[in-house]
Amino acid sequence: MKKIELPKFSWLTEKNRIASRGGSYSLIMTAVVLAIMIVANIFVSSLPTTLTKYDISSSKLYSITSNTKVVVNALKKDVTIYWIVQSGKEDDVIENLLSKYDSLSDYIKVVKKNPDVFPTFAKKYTDETVKNNSLVVESGDRNRFISYDDIYLKENDVYTYSTKTSFDGEGAITSAIDYVVSEELPQLYLLEGHGEGELPATFKDQIEKDNIELKTLSLLKVDSIPEDADSLMIYAPESDISEEEKKMLENYVKDGGKLLVMAGPTKDGILKNLYSLLSVYGVETYEGIVVEKDRMHYAFQSPYVLLPDIASHEITDSLIEENYFAIMPISQGLKIKETSSVGEVTALLNTSDTAYSKTAGFNISNYEKEEGDIDGPFTLAVSITSTNNGKIVWFASSVFLDEMYNTYSSGANVDLGMNAVSSLIGQSEAIAIRSKSLDYNYLTISDSTSSMLKVIMIGVFPLLYLTVGICVVLRRRRMQNETV
């Protein structure tokens, strides 16, 4: 009798063959995907950091502003940025910033100089003690040294009596680049001879940072305003100009000159000759000191420390966009009375309708409106375009740039003044690059909220992930059993 041979688990053999083919396919696909990822990683690593890194910091610490891009895109000369730093002591924020400059233009090259290897290198550029992560920006025969202390700025906070730290790397580097590639720097002449105040340090430093040369000028010693004057500034005069000086200034503006005036009330009343420069354009000046009745338009419970409404203009737009307030203390009242045939007048800062001018001036004894006080509203700053493209920017306060008021405004007052300077000399890219705060804002939560978050993060989420994992495993086993 012939023995019947049963099939020897041929179905198992076929299943193993299929599994083997599937495993080989998976191995090949894994290798292909891995190779693609390696190639993609190499490609991405070769891209500039501007395309591969994204800034999610609240102060945009790792971003480059449009002002810098304007300066860099206009480069036609090679610029070298020397990074003076010992090996292993590189500042990460400065390194990231320098990589952005390097990738923005082919004209910019960043070169690292280790002082241990090149101990005398920095002595060619400065006599200062050179700290790690200081910089030198050079182009041709011009150079500028940037100390580490000019990058990380420290200032006292008048509110908390603590020290605030901010990062001004972009402002310092962009200013240095603009300086070393400029053949001629703008000339700003500061009028003297009328008891003018000294420029506040922060404002003066910003002028120098924006590569504007500051010179003094007495109109009594010249027959005309120098031809190289890109702008003339009158800051906080205590006495009036003469009739001859007034005529010189009038002709200067009519011939296309640029005039910046910061003049508020004085103890001797209105400076008639000086303020008559405005009357030509239909702007009238009023006696006294402007006070506000509307609590939303003055600060620190002082009705003479004004918080005016800001009108849109190239000088003010940066403040409006960033939600900053300008503070105008001890201001003269201005009103645009009529349309001028010799120029166009634009109001920059305006009081509320409830404002009025206290004609007692510096002899003011209270803030209540009294007989003889002048009704508002008033304009506190104007921009005037005259014939031949002459320009005047006028602020009706002599003290709004003082360090105290600038600090109260979070730097907005100096920004406003610098924007006015920049618009007059034609350097729109010089409009201030603000330093970036390094102080952290902490999130404060209650104990109950803290406990709830702990339960969710430590208990609920892990249990949820474990449950999902168990469900997936059980489902796969059930499917395998059904296949068999």
Task: Give per-residue burial for 297-311: e unless 16+ CB within 10 Å, then b.
Answer: bbbeeebbbbbbbbb
Q: What is the identity of the amino acid at 283?
A: V
Asked if 242 and 168 sit in the same domain, the reply is no
Asked if 43 and 156 sit in the same domain, the reply is no
The verdict on residue 107 lying in a domain is: yes
The verdict on residue 5 lying in a domain is: no
The verdict on residue 334 lying in a domain is: yes
> For the domain that residue 77 is a member of, what is the CATH number?
3.40.30.10
Asked if 129 and 193 sit in the same domain, the reply is no
Per-residue pLDDT of the chain (484 residues; tens, 9 = 90+): 555 554 554 545 555 565 555 556 666 777 777 788 787 767 666 655 555 555 444 455 566 777 788 888 888 889 999 999 998 898 888 898 888 888 888 899 999 999 999 988 988 898 888 899 999 999 988 899 999 888 888 766 555 556 777 788 888 888 888 888 888 888 999 999 999 999 999 899 888 888 888 999 999 888 889 988 999 999 999 999 999 999 999 999 999 999 999 999 998 878 899 999 998 899 999 989 999 999 889 988 889 999 999 999 989 998 898 888 999 999 999 999 877 777 889 999 999 999 999 988 888 888 888 888 899 899 999 999 988 889 999 999 999 999 989 888 888 999 999 999 988 987 655 445 655 655 554 454 555 676 787 788 787 878 887 788 788 878 877 777 766 5
Classify burial at 126, counting beta carbons within 10 Å of its beta carbon; exposed 0-12, middle 13-18, buried 19 or more.
Answer: middle
Q: Which 8-state DSSP code applies to residue 397?
A: B
What does pTM read for this prediction? Answer: 0.70
Asked if 363 and 277 sit in the same domain, the reply is yes
| Listed residues 426, 455, 472: the one ending a domain | 426
> Does residue 335 contact residue 378 with C-beta atoms inside 8 Å?
yes
**Which tokens hold the place of 195?**
């008891």
> Does residue 233 contact residue 370 with C-beta atoms inside 8 Å?
no
Asked if 58 and 145 sit in the same domain, the reply is yes
The verdict on residue 481 lying in a domain is: no
pLDDT for position 430: 46
Asked if 100 and 197 sit in the same domain, the reply is no
Asked if 38 and 146 sit in the same domain, the reply is no
The verdict on residue 474 lying in a domain is: no
| Listed residues 185, 202, 226: the one ending a domain | 185
**Which tokens hold the place of 275?**
């303020």
Asked if 313 and 366 sit in the same domain, the reply is yes
Q: Does an H or E element contain 478, and which? A: helix 461-483
SS3 readout for 303-365: EEEECCEECCCCCCHHHHHCCCCCCEECECEEEECCCCCCEEEEEEEECCCCCEEECCHHHCC
> Does residue 260 contact residue 419 with C-beta atoms inside 8 Å?
no
195 is in which domain, residue-wise?
A: 187-426
The verdict on residue 457 lying in a domain is: no
Asked if 146 and 286 sit in the same domain, the reply is no
The verdict on residue 405 lying in a domain is: yes
Q: What is the identity of the amino acid at 284?
A: E
pLDDT for position 477: 75
Asked if 27 and 68 sit in the same domain, the reply is no
> For the domain that residue 246 is a member of, what is the CATH number?
3.40.50
Domain count, the chain: 3
Task: Please choose, from the candidates 250, 257, 241, 252, the residue with its C-alpha nearest in 3D space to the C-alpha of residue 278.
Answer: 250
Task: Please choose, from the candidates 380, 373, 382, the residue with its C-alpha nearest in 3D space to the C-alpha of residue 308.
Answer: 380
Q: Residue written as tokens 């031949």? A: 388
Q: How many CA atoms lie within 13 A of 413 on its CB side?
A: 27
Say how many residues make up the chain.
Answer: 484
Q: What's the CA gap between 71 and 180, in Å, rounded?
A: 12
Asked if 354 and 401 sit in the same domain, the reply is yes
Asked if 297 and 417 sit in the same domain, the reply is yes
